[in-house]
């Protein structure tokens, strides 16, 4: 299927690894020129993907990113707010009272405020281009599961997305969220990531923990999601083929969430 994205432009935050890198590649494969933003300069770039090093956890990071992206690409058609993540040393057994203000602030800055700031800076361009905003959320927004402050930040992102879809609809701008479940990225597969933390808490090695994870979490498909699967959905939602889809949240979780 031709997604009719040839010649369009996009910003992908956190766009140089994991799900973000898969999204950058998927859009580029459809003919989109992509600025892939990350805190550190990545090694991968190409004719269609321009890496930009910027710290989006700072108050001025979003404005700086959009300034550099528009200088490189011109007006922006697609914004994918993918940047996010959990803090280190996450444990199932942790207690709410043990999470201090600093942890809450870091998580909210990374998972909510970064998207708010980049979106605010990109809005004039997106409105002129009648563009699309895709916010990468998480099943944590609906799944009461540690880390609690991460789920709270993603739930807030979902709420902001819905409100923006209503506000910007008359301007021709669509807003959707995509909520992945456990995905084969460094977050789960790196011994120093969340998967490693949870494996150590469970008293097992990471390979065994990941093999048992689908049963532990009730993943209906019996496996973790591949980043390319989420990226394919994002590319579709960003395209004119999804032109009447807005204000909705799409799960890519293998069936973890059982509610209707």
Catalytic residue ranges = 150
Measured distance CA(111)–CA(8) in Å, rounded: 26
Helix axes 148-168, 114-129, angle to 10 degrees: 20
Measured distance CA(50)–CA(69) in Å, rounded: 9
Measured distance CA(103)–CA(150) in Å, rounded: 10
178 - beta bridge partners? 136, 250
Q: What share of the chain is helix, strand, coil (3-state, %, to 5)?
A: 45, 15, 40
249 - beta bridge partners? 177
Cα distances from 4 to residues 31, 42, 171, in angstroms, run 9, 28, 21
Measured distance CA(34)–CA(28) in Å, rounded: 7
């Amino acid at each position: 299927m031709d997604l009719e994205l040839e010649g369009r432009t996009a910003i992908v935050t956190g766009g140089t690894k994991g799900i973000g890198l898969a999204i950058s590649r998927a859009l580029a494969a459809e003919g989109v020129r992509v600025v892939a933003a990350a805190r550190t300069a990545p090694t991968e770039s190409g004719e269609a993907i321009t890496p930009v090093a910027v710290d989006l956890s700072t108050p001025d990071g979003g404005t700086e990113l959009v300034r550099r992206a528009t200088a490189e690409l011109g007006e922006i058609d697609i914004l994918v707010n993918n940047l996010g993540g959990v803090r280190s040393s996450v444990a199932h057994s942790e207690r709410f009272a043990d999470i201090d203000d600093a942890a809450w602030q870091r998580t909210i800055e990374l998972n909510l405020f970064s998207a708010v700031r980049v979106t605010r800076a990109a809005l004039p361009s997106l409105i002129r281009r009648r563009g699309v905003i895709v916010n990468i959320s998480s099943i944590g927004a609906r799944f009461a599961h540690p880390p609690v402050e991460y789920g709270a930040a993603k739930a807030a992102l979902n709420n902001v997305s819905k409100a923006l879809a209503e506000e910007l609809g008359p301007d021709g701008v669509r807003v959707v969220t995509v909520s992945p479940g456990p995905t084969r990225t460094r977050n789960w597969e790196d011994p120093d990531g969340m998967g490693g933390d949870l494996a150590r808490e469970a008293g097992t090695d990471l390979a065994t923990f990941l093999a048992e994870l689908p049963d532990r979490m009730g993943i209906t498909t019996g496996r973790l999601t591949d980043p390319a699967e989420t990226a394919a959905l994002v590319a579709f939602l960003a395209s004119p083929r999804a032109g009447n889809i807005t204000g909705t949240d799409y799960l890519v979780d293998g069936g973890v969430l059982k509610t209707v």
